Structure 1
Amino acid sequence: MFDFQPSYIIAITAVISSITLLVYFSWKTLITSNLFQKGVNLYQQENYKDAEAAFRQVISRNSTNDGVHLLLGDSLMQQSKVEEATQQFQEVIDRAPKKVDAYLRLSNALMRQEKKGEAIATLQKARDLCLAQRQPEKAEQINSILQKISKNNS
């Protein structure tokens, strides 16, 4: 019948293993993607508690997705869980220090905690990042916010 040589068996095993891994990771990605979309939909429906749960599930499957951490932080902010939101935003900054949106969200959380000095320093960092990333319009918007905060402190 068939004369299987050891090299054929190894090759067949490698192909089957590769296909199995591909199917597994595709399935995992599909589930994660569906959970993420569910979280986004719940957030848009202003169901922040359930959105939080969905985003936490996504993070448990893929903890390095910065966008999910930001959305989780936003969901927490909407529920007045400012300390937890601050942790999410800070985690993104620690992992991706050039992500301007994380600084902007963190500064908002710091303002809600009445930590104006830290909020201002965070906004200044965001502004400087915008300038370094050649986003002058966004940097100017941040400057306007900084000026308003300065006027309110006067």
Structure 2
Amino acid sequence: MSEFVAPSVIKSDSEWRAELTPEEFAVLRQAGTERPFTGEYWDSAQEGVYECRACGAELFTSKEKFASDCGWPSFYAPLADGTVRYLHDNTLGMERIEVRCTACDSHLGHLFKGEGYDTPTDERFCVNSVSLKLRSVEQQ
């Protein structure tokens, strides 16, 4: 796993609660998960940059997004090294790799490797739509 880098955006739970919806807080700050096939971006093909909904850090782009049919937005790589960090996750009785925003330490989703997708990395960053905000090409 990657070396821990202290977040640059630090807020109390009460500050996060004031800025985020209850669903956003549950996912981003408490490592929850939205239901599959319900999120805003799971099947979006719109071009742009996906930012952390909590702090606005740029995390992924539509160029690395692919259709995995898993019910959540899937990316084969982050925008750049160091934009996300990884943690071991043993919840729910399975071994997984949690993905968090490096800038604010918000939960984004999980990383799965070696599933056989025809992508350059054979990795699937399975990210909650509620953790992201798309800045479309038109907005740039």
TM-score after normalising by structure 1: 0.27
More strand by share: 2
Greater relative contact order (Cα 8 A, min sep 6): structure 1 or 2?
Answer: 2
- Larger % of helix: which? 1
Q: TM-score, normalised on structure 2?
A: 0.29
